Structure 1
Amino acid sequence: MSLPDAFAAQADTCTRMGSPFMGQLLSILAADWPTDSALGRKFAGFTGDIGPAGHSLPLRIAGGLHALVLSDGAPELAAVYPPHSATDESLRAEVLSALERHQAFLLDWTDSPPQTNEVRRSAALIAGAHVALNHFNLPIHLSELGASGGLNLMWDQYALEIDGARFGTDMPAVLLSPEWTGAMPPKANPVIADRAGVDLNPLDPTRADHLLRLTAYLWADQPDRLSMTRAAASVATTQPQQGDAIDWLGPRLAAAPQGRLHLIQHTVAWQYFPDAVQARGKALIEAAGAQATANRPLAWLSMETDGDTTGKVGAALTLRLWPGDLTLDLGRADFHGRWVKWAYTG
């Protein structure tokens, strides 16, 4: 895929996911990317997949531009960013100017791939955890793979609301209200006894520079995502550890205590693990599941792409439980948590 094609494809994806501004911005970059610049030469040097499943170059530069706006580093650019509206001509002029004037910042920013922590995915995690507790009602030993800044490790501090029914704490830091179809999840009272996560590049949302990185990759015309992320960061207590997810998981599985439900969770992370890592992780979890008991059960909750392009683009929600090796199809969810199509009926 050429860089203009990658920009254009990402523009289409963002527009379909509810961000007309990102569609506008990335379409401008598709047409007017400054190839004869240090940024242009840097991006031309990337090999392999430059789209969202690979280096994700369009989102790298979009995140860098948004970081300039959020950090008050580019007031002229901020004037044409949401909540302001801008014509293609005025946005193009300021974006191209920012690429030139802030090139040193953007060269540094784009060294790393995009990194978000989509808090709205916790809607699916809350519902899935309630199903797991319906089978094994024990305090939770929580482990997250690909945890980023650890915001979805804090789902017990949030609440899911469906048609006036609330699942979660009475005073949530974040209230999640996705478009919900299907039955209600079962009621439960989650108690997280301990929590931990792992990521190749963990972020600490209590640090201003790390929180900027998490928020810059949110889309500027979706302020609700920005406010939710900041609210979630305000109650974050657990910074994920740095490391390979499966190397980290092995000792944590072995050390899972009696009298706890060990709940492994991941959202839109496993799909990016290399095939060999996925196979190793699956074998490790299944081996631990074979040793699970009613007083030391294991649950594996995943929200990962199912490749379904016939309807709404989204992720499959799957829960595996041991002892018994029970696999439950919980339904599907939007990658950003905007909707949940719940399939579980208990």
Structure 2
Amino acid sequence: MSLEGAFREQATHNRALGSPFTARVLRIAAERAVPGNPVMDRMLAWEGDIGPHGASLPLRFLSGLQALVLTGACRELVAAYPPNPAPDDATLGAAIDAALADHADTLMRWIDSPPQTNEVRRASVMIAAGQWLADRFGLPLVLSELGAAAGLNLMWDKFCLALACGTFGPKRSTVWLDPDWRGPCPPAAEIEVIDRRGVDLNPMDPHDPDDALRLVSFLWADQPQRIDRTRAAIDLAEAVVDRGDAAAWLEARLAEPHPGALHLVTHTVAWQYFPKATRTRCLAALEAAGARATRKAPLARLSMEADGSGKAGAAISLTVWPGGRTFSLGRVDFHGRWVDWTPP
């Protein structure tokens, strides 16, 4: 895929995900995907899949622009971005040109790392799956997340899922999730998390100003509710995220004994970023640990990932050991705006 094509494809996705402004930014940036600027030159030389299902270079570039707006570093972009009235394409293009010319170093830094949004609304799926598992097994939970970024979604038991059929989680929580929910209500069950930990190649400390900026920069400028919700989740964050390879970390994590608890391993829109060797080792580690699982110390893997089916959103899959049975729990919008919940 060409760089221009990657920008245009991402623009289509952003529009479908309710962000017409960033879709315009990406479309205008696509017109600038030519040699002659160090930022564009670097992206043009990038090897491998650069599109939405690979390195996601357009989203990395978009987050760099957002960082320049949030810090006020590029006055041209600040004037062209929400909450200011949307300018015409020529003015917005000139603002992007100013960012490319005057802030290449910042944009280069943001291109270094894949998106780490910690999209908080995805936690709706974790809450529902947690309720299902707690109802089925009646055990406290140990949580492990692969590609956890800043660990915001490791705190899902501190969020409140508000559905027409009821609420789940603490009602006094400052993080409320109210997706368009289609399907049965999750079962009501007591959730007790006794341990939570994550891993990421480049973990982020949500209480560090620079990392908090990076987290918020991956959110889209015309969706202020996402930014507000993420900042509220940052205030609740207290999970540890280790720096390391997901496979080696998971092997060690699964070797830790947790008698009398269910160990839930999760990953949401992260699997695509893992090298093939890492994915293979993770699957082998899960199978080996699953073979040791018992009814009093079960294991589960919750996956929310693109599946290439052509259907909207990400597939929700849950595998439970002992037994290794995999359940399809439905589909979810990549930003958690809606959930089609189809539990067994």
CA 1:55–1:330 in 2, change beyond 3 Å: closer, same or farther? closer
Report the aligned-residue RMSD.
1.6
Q: How far, CA to CA, are the matches of 1:70 and 1:316 in structure 2? A: 33
Note if contact 2:122-2:335 (Cα within 8 Å) is conserved in structure 1: yes
Q: How far, CA to CA, are the matches of 2:278 and 2:269 in structure 1? A: 15
CA 1:105–1:279 in 2, change beyond 3 Å: closer, same or farther? closer
Note if contact 1:256-1:262 (Cα within 8 Å) is conserved in structure 2: no
CA offsets 1:60-112 (integer angstroms, 9 cap, x no match): 21111100101121233111101222211211121212221222322333233
Matches within 5 A, 1:124-135: 124-135=125-136
Q: How far, CA to CA, are the matches of 2:110 and 2:339 in structure 1? A: 33
- Give the TM-score of the pair, scaled to structure 1: 0.95
CA 1:292–1:40 in 2, change beyond 3 Å: closer, same or farther? closer
CA 1:187–1:212 in 2, change beyond 3 Å: closer, same or farther? same
Q: How far, CA to CA, are the matches of 1:141 and 1:240 in structure 2? A: 14
Note if contact 1:145-1:264 (Cα within 8 Å) is conserved in structure 2: yes
Q: How far, CA to CA, are the matches of 1:188 and 1:111 in structure 2? A: 42
Partner secondary structure for residue 340 of structure 2: strand
Matches within 5 A, 1:119-198: 119-163=120-164, 165-198=166-199
1:189 is displaced (CA, Å) by 1.3
1:34 is displaced (CA, Å) by 5.8
Q: How far, CA to CA, are the matches of 2:68 and 2:270 in structure 1? A: 27
Unaligned runs of 5+ in 1: none
Which is further off, 299-308 or 15-24?
Answer: 299-308
Letter in 2 for 1:326: R
Per the alignment, residue 50 of structure 2 pairs with 50
Partner secondary structure for residue 8 of structure 2: helix
Which is further off, 119-128 or 271-280?
Answer: 271-280
Note if contact 1:19-1:219 (Cα within 8 Å) is conserved in structure 2: yes
Q: How far, CA to CA, are the matches of 1:129 and 1:50 in structure 2? A: 34
Q: How far, CA to CA, are the matches of 1:43 and 1:296 in structure 2? A: 47
1:197 is displaced (CA, Å) by 0.4
Matches within 5 A, 1:205-284: 205-284=206-285
Unaligned runs of 5+ in 2: none
Partner secondary structure for residue 101 of structure 2: helix
Q: How far, CA to CA, are the matches of 1:170 and 1:52 in structure 2? A: 36
Partner secondary structure for residue 61 of structure 2: helix
1:53 is displaced (CA, Å) by 2.7
Per the alignment, residue 342 of structure 1 pairs with 341
Which is further off, 245-254 or 270-279?
Answer: 270-279
CA offsets 1:252-301 (integer angstroms, 9 cap, x no match): 11213211111111111123323333232222212211211222111211
Letter in 2 for 1:26: L
Which is further off, 322-331 or 150-159?
Answer: 322-331
Q: How far, CA to CA, are the matches of 1:27 and 1:165 in structure 2? A: 41
Letter in 2 for 1:68: L
- Give the TM-score of the pair, scaled to structure 2: 0.95
Aligned pair count?
343
Letter in 1 for 2:67: A
Q: How far, CA to CA, are the matches of 1:218 and 1:235 in structure 2? A: 19
Note if contact 2:54-2:272 (Cα within 8 Å) is conserved in structure 1: no
Q: How far, CA to CA, are the matches of 2:328 and 2:105 in structure 1? A: 48
CA 1:29–1:187 in 2, change beyond 3 Å: closer, same or farther? same
Q: How far, CA to CA, are the matches of 2:110 and 2:280 in structure 1? A: 33
Note if contact 2:76-2:98 (Cα within 8 Å) is conserved in structure 1: no
Note if contact 2:332-2:338 (Cα within 8 Å) is conserved in structure 1: yes
CA offsets 1:92-136 (integer angstroms, 9 cap, x no match): 121212221222322333233332211111000000111111111
CA offsets 1:120-178 (integer angstroms, 9 cap, x no match): 11000000111111111111111111111100100011011111510111211210011
Per the alignment, residue 289 of structure 1 pairs with 290
Letter in 2 for 1:325: G
Letter in 2 for 1:58: P
Which is further off, 24-33 or 184-193?
Answer: 24-33
Per the alignment, residue 10 of structure 2 pairs with 10
Which is further off, 199-208 or 68-77?
Answer: 68-77
1:324 paired to 2:323:
yes
Which is further off, 45-54 or 179-188?
Answer: 45-54
Note if contact 1:11-1:23 (Cα within 8 Å) is conserved in structure 2: yes
Per the alignment, residue 38 of structure 2 pairs with 38
Q: How far, CA to CA, are the matches of 1:101 and 1:59 in structure 2? A: 20
